[in-house]
């Protein structure tokens, strides 16, 4: 009876809502508080930032490939940043810095978590919206303003920040140190403060939504791995971003107020500066306490997305669901006690280095658990090679080949010669750069129908995009390992001018051309993406025959996600190809009582009444089978 | 039943309260980072604080502990529907909050003018003293905003659910700010030599 009453109310309630919501353009598309729209805003801003960061990388790749050549076009495009058709050396540093900052923070943190946590958390746990839609909206707009400020630094006299995305002092603390330490650095700091605020507002919302607003029946162990990944990512952000704020606050005091937290005994332009007693290593501690969890903030949502996409497209339950969750928890926990492996060459006590080395290498265990589980999920699956699936497999590939070199770099003894060489560049571009980007793209292809009211992206262009990007990413980053082993340092404007390294020029040229082809391949994606928003093929409500809740919501976006009552969840998200079932998927909303032929005994672990019913059914329908 | 369900949908306040708890955790991490930074700095460089903390900090600590007490009384009054009492104690809490603020500023005055310990200091341990107290005052400021919101709600005769919600938010944040100060003060006392 009460169920009836509830349903009754829900209908009238929605009716009510329709009357109340007179949405204007401004409230619907701009200052939207709807999680689906905010997700789209994050995605499109993220893609824009990614394109910009990619173009920046092409610019500095051209410099690396042709250090002696003059390109008049560059002068036309960049003006004083490229006098006589060659990049200004200090502008080269700015390009590297802003490329790193945008990719790590604006694309792979905000663009990835912002898009998919916003879109999928409420839809997959069964909530009408986020815990606080207003804070969620603020989160996007803080991010937007942060992006504008970051990009605005290209339009000032001295150019953008140049001390690298890690902004180590003293370079970042002394405005007079170089061009990139002046106003550009100030803008960088201002932008990042807003970015952290945005990230915290988003993360706090995600955690609160996952813990408080799950629908009936959705206990934590029934959540899809995507939600687990977003949830743990958000917790990492909440715990680590404030530490960056603390570090940056002290840096601002050093820059602008004359304190000596990070500075000591510095001679600049032949003049001894008044700072004394500070410790630049202190900044590194504070930075990497964020910085290391940050790389997991980047990769974990991509892992969650891949787990889901791989399971759906292999038509098999994810292999080792619990192990997948525990390995995510393990990675999250370990991420806070490994930051010292970025600082092996700071004169750290070798014993402490040993401790950080051990904790770092332990991360290989949960990472390997995840990798093997993905492979075991694909193993003998009924694989559907959709573009999303290809990108998810691509993530696994990059995660393996980039992860292996992590074991090299995690060893203090090996890190000392490899530190700050191209080996490091190769390592992190594969393991967190390419892998996370591929996870994000897998998500875009897979959930495009959820993002843009039932449209699909074109498959053919998707395949083209995948293969070109996949091959080129390896062509770009694989040779860098060898450069690094040879000792080629990163962040050098013209390292091939040194006699020791000039034999790498041809490799550099090769890498640059591979990068250019990879960049061109993204045109296929961009065209596909924007064209499909308006003209994409219409999809059915559940185009991939997936189990999760978001595919039970209507194709047309409505405020509150489901008309009437929110669906109840009866099972985990991975009942694919269950023996005895009529179809090869059973959505989470189907009760066990409707799938008697496919039920297993372990489906009734904490449900003795259900087990009894099931046993009765087995006795009647399968008299030959013995039930224990 | 249906009525209750509808109310729950519209006024789902528990997740919002949880949002504040998470924010409190995030804030705590800032102070944890700063105090850890202090330890790394002071331990690594042999630069101790070496400052006899002014007595003003004892007075400010008393003020903020008292303010937690009055806020507790305000919450209790709100739960018992004694709104006049609730407002009185909220005003008291705010007053004590401002007193704390004033004493902290006074402590800075003592530190700089009487003791010659400045923010810009070759011994950054001493700069940390100002960073701790200053960042804490920023949180006091935010706490006062929560108190004001609760107070306004109380004068406007908001529904009791909302009134209690505002009180809860104010209480979570204000007690947190109080506890953080005690943490910082004890930390400074332990490290003053």
Nearest CB to A204; choose among B9, B19, B47? B19
Cβ–Cβ below 8 Å for A242 and B29: yes
Chain B positions in Cβ-Cβ contact with residue A15 (cut-off 8 Å): none
Q: Shortest Cα distance from B85 to chain A (angstroms)?
A: 31
- Residue A602 — pLDDT band, cuts 50, 70, 90? confident
Question: Which distant-in-sequence residues (6+ apart) come within 8 Å of B114 by Cβ?
Answer: B54
Tokens 């979570």 -> residue: B172
* Three-state SS sequence of chain B: CHHHHHHHHHCCCHHHHHHHHHHHHHHHHHHHHHHHHHHHHHHHHCCCCCCCCCCHHHHHHHHHHHHHHHHHHHHHHHHCCCHHHHHHHHHHHHHHHHHHHHHHHHHHHHHHHHCCCCCCCCCHHHHHHHHHHHHHHHHHHHHHHHHHHHHHHHHCCCCHHHHHHHHHHHHHHHHHHHHHHHHHHHHHHHCCC
pLDDT at res. A19:
44
The one-digit pLDDT tens for each residue of chain B (193 residues) are 444 444 454 567 888 889 999 999 999 999 999 999 998 888 766 678 888 899 999 999 999 999 999 999 999 999 999 999 999 999 999 999 999 999 999 999 999 999 988 998 888 889 999 999 999 999 999 999 999 999 998 898 888 889 999 999 999 999 999 999 999 999 999 988 7
Nearest to A517 by CA among A460, A473, A462, A458: A473
In this prediction, residues A59-82 reach a mean pLDDT of: 92
Nearest CB to A243; choose among B23, B29, B44? B29
Q: How far is it, in rounded angstroms, from Cα A248 to Cα A193?
A: 8
Instruction: Answer whether residue A9 shows pLDDT above 90.
Output: no
Domain ranges of chain B: 16-190
pLDDT tens per residue across span A142-185: 999 999 999 999 999 999 999 999 999 999 999 999 999 999 99
Q: Which of residues 60-99 of B touch A (CB under 8 A)?
A: none
- Residue A12 — pLDDT band, cuts 50, 70, 90? very low
- Residue A21 — pLDDT band, cuts 50, 70, 90? low
Tell me the pairing of strands A271-272 and A537-538.
Answer: unpaired
Q: Which long-range contacts (CB under 8 A, 24 or more apart) does A260-264 make?
A: A260/B120, A260/B121, A260/B122, A260/B124, A260/B127, A261/B37, A261/B41, A261/B124, A261/B127, A261/B128, A262/A169, A262/A170, A262/A173, A263/A169, A263/A170, A263/A173, A263/A174
Chain A positions in Cβ-Cβ contact with residue B135 (cut-off 8 Å): 249
Cβ–Cβ below 8 Å for A213 and B12: yes
Q: How far is it, in rounded angstroms, from Cα B125 to Cα B148?
A: 35
| Residue A271 backbone phi and psi in degrees, to 5 | -115, 135
Structure tokens given for B132: 């701790």
Angle at A368 between CA A363 and CA A369, to 5 degrees: 105
Task: Please name the residue of chain A whose CA is at the shortest distance from the CA of residue B48.
Answer: A277
Instruction: Answer whether residue A6 shows pLDDT above 60.
Output: no
In this prediction, residues A52-79 reach a mean pLDDT of: 93
Nearest CB to B45; choose among A135, A239, A277? A277
- Residue A601 — pLDDT band, cuts 50, 70, 90? confident
pLDDT at res. A29:
83
- What are the counts of helices (DSSP H) followed by strands (DSSP E) for chain A? 20, 4
Chain A positions in Cβ-Cβ contact with residue B12 (cut-off 8 Å): 212-213
Query: Phi-psi bin for B159: left (phi > 0), alpha (psi -120 to 50), beta?
Result: beta
Cβ–Cβ below 8 Å for A286 and B6: no
Instruction: Answer whether residue A482 shows pLDDT above 60.
Output: yes
Cβ–Cβ below 8 Å for B124 and A261: yes
Cβ–Cβ below 8 Å for A261 and B40: no
Cβ–Cβ below 8 Å for A131 and B19: yes
Query: Which one of A128, A133, A210, A243 would you mutate to disrupt binding with B, by most B Cβ within 10 Å of its Cβ?
Result: A243
Q: Is B29 at the interface with chain A, CB within 8 A?
A: yes
Task: Please name the residue of chain B whose CA is at the shortest distance from the CA of residue A249.
Answer: B131
Cβ–Cβ below 8 Å for A285 and B40: yes
Nearest CB to B44; choose among A2, A211, A279? A279
Q: Comparing A518 with A8, which gets the higher pLDDT?
A: A518
In this prediction, residues A396-407 reach a mean pLDDT of: 96
Do B53 and B189 touch, CB atoms closer than 8 A?
Answer: yes
Distances (CA, A) of A50 to A92, A103, A110, A516, A548: 18, 6, 11, 15, 29
Q: How far is it, in rounded angstroms, from Cα B86 to Cα B71?
A: 9
pLDDT at res. B46:
67
| Residue A278 backbone phi and psi in degrees, to 5 | -80, 170
User: What fold does the segment set A2-538 form as a domain?
Assistant: Cytochrome C Oxidase; Chain A (1.20.210)
pLDDT at res. A627:
52
Chain A positions in Cβ-Cβ contact with residue B18 (cut-off 8 Å): 131, 207-208, 211-212
Nearest CB to A9; choose among B2, B12, B33? B2
pLDDT at res. A621:
86
Chain A positions in Cβ-Cβ contact with residue B122 (cut-off 8 Å): 260, 275-277
Task: Please name the residue of chain A whose CA is at the shortest distance from the CA of residue B2.
Answer: A6
Do A372 and A419 touch, CB atoms closer than 8 A?
Answer: no
Average pLDDT over all residues of chain A: 92
Q: Is B40 at the interface with chain A, CB within 8 A?
A: yes
Q: Shortest Cα distance from A278 to chain B (angstroms)?
A: 7
pLDDT at res. B45:
60
Q: Shortest Cα distance from B39 to chain A (angstroms)?
A: 10
DSSP state of A107: I
* Least confident range of A90-94, A523-527, A541-545, A558-562: A558-562
Q: How far is it, in rounded angstroms, from Cα A344 to Cα A416?
A: 7
User: What fold does the segment set B16-190 form as a domain?
Assistant: 1.20.120
Tokens 């490799």 -> residue: A507
Nearest CB to B9; choose among A8, A13, A278? A13
Nearest to B107 by CA among B54, B34, B71: B54
Chain A positions in Cβ-Cβ contact with residue B124 (cut-off 8 Å): 259-261, 277-279
Query: Phi-psi bin for A548: left (phi > 0), alpha (psi -120 to 50), beta?
Result: beta
Do B22 and A204 touch, CB atoms closer than 8 A?
Answer: yes
Query: Which one of A122, A135, A279, A566 would you mutate to disrupt binding with B, by most B Cβ within 10 Å of its Cβ?
Result: A279
pLDDT tens per residue across span A268-305: 888 998 888 888 999 999 999 999 999 999 999 999 99
Q: Which of residues 1-20 of B touch A (CB under 8 A)?
A: 1-3, 5-6, 9, 12, 14-16, 18-19
Do A529 and A443 touch, CB atoms closer than 8 A?
Answer: no
- Residue A22 — pLDDT band, cuts 50, 70, 90? low
Q: What is the pTM of this model?
A: 0.92
Domain ranges of chain A: 2-538, 591-628
Do A190 and A266 touch, CB atoms closer than 8 A?
Answer: no
Cβ–Cβ below 8 Å for A208 and B16: yes
Do A194 and A279 touch, CB atoms closer than 8 A?
Answer: no
Chain A positions in Cβ-Cβ contact with residue B15 (cut-off 8 Å): 131-132, 208-209, 211-213
| Residue A541 backbone phi and psi in degrees, to 5 | -65, -35
Q: Is B127 at the interface with chain A, CB within 8 A?
A: yes
Nearest CB to B41; choose among A6, A245, A279? A279
Question: Which distant-in-sequence residues (6+ apart) come within 8 Å of B55 by Cβ?
Answer: none
Query: Which one of A261, A286, A340, A565 would you mutate to disrupt binding with B, by most B Cβ within 10 Å of its Cβ?
Result: A261
Q: Is B131 at the interface with chain A, CB within 8 A?
A: yes
Do A112 and A440 touch, CB atoms closer than 8 A?
Answer: yes
- Residue A11 — pLDDT band, cuts 50, 70, 90? very low
Do A154 and A279 touch, CB atoms closer than 8 A?
Answer: no
pLDDT at res. B43:
79
pLDDT tens per residue across span A444-479: 999 999 999 889 999 999 999 999 999 999 999 999
Cβ–Cβ below 8 Å for A204 and B30: no
In this prediction, residues A114-139 reach a mean pLDDT of: 94
pLDDT at res. A302:
97
pLDDT at res. A192:
95
Q: Is B25 at the interface with chain A, CB within 8 A?
A: yes
Q: How far is it, in rounded angstroms, from Cα A403 to Cα A366?
A: 12
């Amino acid at each position: 009876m009460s169920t009836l009453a509830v349903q009754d109310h829900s209908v009238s309630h929605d009716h009510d809502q329709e009357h109340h919501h007179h949405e204007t353009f401004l409230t619907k598309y701009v200052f939207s508080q709807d999680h689906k729209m905010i997700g789209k805003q994050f995605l499109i801003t993220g893609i824009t930032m990614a394109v910009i960061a990619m173009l920046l990388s092409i610019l500095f790749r051209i410099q690396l490939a042709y250090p002696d050549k003059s390109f008049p076009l560059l002068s036309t495009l960049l003006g004083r940043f490229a006098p006589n058709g060659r990049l200004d050396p200090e502008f080269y540093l700015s390009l590297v810095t802003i490329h790193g900052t945008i990719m790590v923070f604006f694309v792979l943190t905000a663009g990835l978590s912002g898009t998919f946590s916003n879109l999928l958390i409420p839809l997959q746990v069964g909530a009408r919206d986020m815990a606080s839609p207003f804070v969620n909206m603020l989160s996007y707009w803080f991010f937007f303003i942060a992006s504008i400020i970051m990009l605005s630094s290209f339009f000032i006299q001295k150019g953008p920040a140049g001390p690298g995305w890690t902004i180590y002092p003293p370079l970042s603390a002394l405005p007079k140190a170089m061009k990139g330490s002046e106003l550009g650095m100030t803008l960088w700091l201002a932008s990042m403060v807003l970015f952290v605020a945005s990230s915290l507002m988003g993360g706090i919302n995600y955690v609160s939504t996952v813990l408080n607003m799950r629908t009936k029946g959705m206990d934590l162990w029934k959540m899809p791995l995507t939600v687990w990944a977003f949830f743990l990512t958000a917790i990492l952000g909440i715990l680590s971003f404030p530490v960056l704020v603390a570090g940056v606050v002290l840096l601002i005091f050093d820059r602008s107020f004359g304190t000596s937290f990070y500075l000591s005994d510095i001679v600049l332009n032949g003049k001894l500066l008044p700072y004394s007693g500070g410790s630049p290593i202190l900044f590194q501690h504070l930075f990497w306490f964020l910085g290391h969890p940050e790389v997991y903030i980047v990769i974990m949502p991509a892992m969650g997305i891949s787990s889901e996409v791989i399971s759906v497209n292999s038509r098999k339950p994810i292999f080792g669901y619990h192990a997948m969750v525990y390995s995510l928890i393990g990675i999250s926990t370990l991420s806070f006690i490994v930051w010292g492996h970025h600082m092996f060459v700071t004169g750290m006590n070798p014993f402490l280095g040993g401790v950080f080395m051990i904790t770092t290498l332990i991360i290989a265990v949960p990472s390997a658990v995840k990798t093997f589980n993905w492979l075991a999920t694909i193993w003998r699956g009924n694989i559907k090679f959709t573009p999303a699936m290809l990108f998810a497999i691509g993530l696994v590939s990059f995660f393996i080949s980039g992860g292996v070199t992590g074991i090299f770099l995690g060893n203090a003894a090996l890190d000392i010669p490899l530190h700050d060489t191209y080996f490091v560049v190769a390592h992190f571009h594969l393991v967190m750069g390419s892998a996370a980007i591929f996870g994000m793209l897998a998500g875009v292809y897979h959930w495009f129908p959820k993002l843009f009211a039932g449209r699909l992206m074109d498959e053919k262009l998707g395949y083209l995009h995948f293969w070109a990007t996949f091959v080129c990413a390896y062509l770009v980053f694989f040779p860098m390992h060898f450069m690094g082993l040879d000792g080629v340092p990163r962040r050098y404007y013209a390292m091939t001018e040194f006699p020791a390294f000039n034999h790498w020029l041809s490799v550099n040229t090769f890498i640059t051309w591979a990068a250019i082809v990879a960049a061109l391949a993204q045109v296929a994606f961009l065209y596909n993406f924007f064209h499909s928003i308006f003209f994409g093929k219409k999809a059915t409500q559940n185009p991939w025959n997936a189990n999760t809740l978001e595919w039970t919501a209507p194709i047309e976006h409505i405020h509150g996600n489901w008309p009437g009552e929110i669906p109840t969840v009866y099972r985990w998200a991975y009942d694919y190809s269950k023996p005895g079932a009529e179809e090869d998927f059973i959505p989470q909303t189907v009760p066990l009582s409707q799938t008697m032929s496919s039920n297993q005994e372990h489906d009734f672990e904490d449900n003795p009444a259900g087990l009894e019913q099931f046993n009765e059914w087995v006795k009647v329908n399968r008299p030959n089978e013995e039930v224990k | 039943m249906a009525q209750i369900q509808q109310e729950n949908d519209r006024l789902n306040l528990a997740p919002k309260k949880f949002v504040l708890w998470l924010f409190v955790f995030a804030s705590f991490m800032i102070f944890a980072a700063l105090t850890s930074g202090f330890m790394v700095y002071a331990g690594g460089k042999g630069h101790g604080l070496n400052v006899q903390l002014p007595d003003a900090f004892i007075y400010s600590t008393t003020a903020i502990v008292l303010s937690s007490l009055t806020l507790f009384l305000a919450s209790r009054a709100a739960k018992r529907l004694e709104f006049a009492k609730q407002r009185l104690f909220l005003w008291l809490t705010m007053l004590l909050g401002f007193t704390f603020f004033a004493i902290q500023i006074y402590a800075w005055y003592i530190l700089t003018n009487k003791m010659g310990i400045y923010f810009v200091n070759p011994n950054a341990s001493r700069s940390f003293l100002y960073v701790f107290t200053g960042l804490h005052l920023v949180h006091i400021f935010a706490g006062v905003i929560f108190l004001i919101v609760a107070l306004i709600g109380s004068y406007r005769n908001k529904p009791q659910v909302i009134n209690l919600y505002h009180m809860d938010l104010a209480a979570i944040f204000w007690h947190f700010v109080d506890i953080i100060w005690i943490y910082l003060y004890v930390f400074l006392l332990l490290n003053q030599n």
